[in-house]
């Protein structure tokens, strides 16, 4: 497929049993292993859900996704987290069709709603609160625009529930990572954790604003085992990398 719509083309490629989404460049904007369409193929998409280790199931009840792309996160939550109702904000009106046609995104129902519009503007006007907000919005040049600014992060903080977690995909050079993490940290009063960079160069930042979290490493491991058993999502490698890279006083993750 080659669709020259507003702003950029949408291209689909396949290699080694994996289907890829591109926005008119070599950057990979999404991927699906054709024989495992409900799994999360890219490392960073798995780490976007690291917040699932911070609270025991059946959290989260309500999730907000900024950026649909190939629909990997939206369809994983729909399929594997039946307790969660998800709202997706996508700026490109072509993307829902592409995600359904080529990447097995399910139709909208009572647990999946897709809104077309500018993520930064819609979040600023939103009044509903969410347990989990996932920000993964890039243009064809791997830029985030207003989705990386202080006003947007402030709006996200306002939209988090009492036990809410924000997860942001940061992509770029090391300086870009540091600047993005510092902006999030400033808005969330220092309560921000940057996971070690994935193999593809993505850094996932987690932030919270409700009651302080203190989760023992043993409990994080127990939740990772249970999460893999119930959903197939394996976050044990993330925990090992986090333990090696970050200071965890008293073997406890505090956020």
pLDDT bucket at 5, cuts 50 / 70 / 90: very low
> According to the model, what pLDDT value does residue 4 have?
45
- 139 in active site: no
Catalytic residue among 11, 92, 118, 136: 136
Domains of the chain listed by start with CATH number: 38-212 (3.40.50.150)
Beta strands per DSSP E along the chain: 2-4, 9-15, 18-22, 30-33, 62-66, 85-90, 112-116, 130-135, 160-170, 192-194, 203-208, 214-216, 252-254
Q: 144 or 9: which carries more pLDDT confidence? A: 9
> According to the model, what pLDDT value does residue 148 have?
76
CA 169/CA 205 separation, integer angstroms: 7
DSSP state of 86: E
Average pLDDT over residues 38-48: 95
Helix or strand or coil: residue 239?
helix
pLDDT tens, residue by residue, 189-248: 999 999 988 877 889 999 999 889 999 999 999 999 999 999 999 999 999 988 887 778
What's the pTM value of the predicted model, to 2 decimals? Answer: 0.93
DSSP state of 179: H
pLDDT tens, residue by residue, 122-153: 999 989 999 999 999 754 444 556 777 899 99
> According to the model, what pLDDT value does residue 6 have?
53
Average pLDDT over residues 64-84: 97
């Amino acid at each position: 497929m080659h669709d020259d719509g507003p702003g950029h083309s949408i291209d689909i490629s396949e290699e080694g049993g994996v289907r890829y989404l591109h926005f008119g460049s070599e950057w990979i904007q999404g991927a699906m292993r054709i024989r495992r369409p409900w799994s999360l193929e890219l490392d960073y998409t798995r780490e976007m859900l690291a917040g699932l280790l911070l609270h025991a199931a059946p959290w989260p009840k309500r999730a907000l996704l900024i950026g649909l792309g190939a629909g990997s996160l939206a369809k994983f939550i729909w399929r594997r987290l039946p307790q969660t109702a998800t709202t997706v904000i996508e700026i490109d009106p072509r993307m829902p069709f592409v995600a359904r046609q080529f990447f097995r995104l399910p139709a909208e129902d009572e647990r999946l709603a897709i809104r077309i519009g500018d993520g930064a503007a819609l979040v600023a006007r939103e009044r509903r609160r969410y347990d989990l907000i996932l920000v993964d919005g890039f243009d064809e040049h791997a830029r985030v625009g207003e989705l990386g600014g202080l006003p947007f992060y402030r709006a996200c903080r306002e939209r988090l529930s009492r036990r809410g977690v924000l997860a942001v995909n940061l992509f770029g050079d090391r300086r870009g990572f540091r600047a993005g993490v510092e902006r999030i940290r400033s808005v969330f009063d220092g309560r921000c954790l940057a996971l070690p960079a994935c193999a593809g160069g993505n850094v996932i930042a987690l932030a919270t604003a409700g009651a302080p979290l203190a989760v023992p490493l043993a409990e994080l491991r127990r939740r990772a085992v249970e999460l893999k058993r119930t959903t197939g999502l394996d976050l044990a490698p993330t925990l090992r990398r986090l333990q090696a890279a970050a200071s965890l006083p008293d073997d406890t993750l505090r956020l």
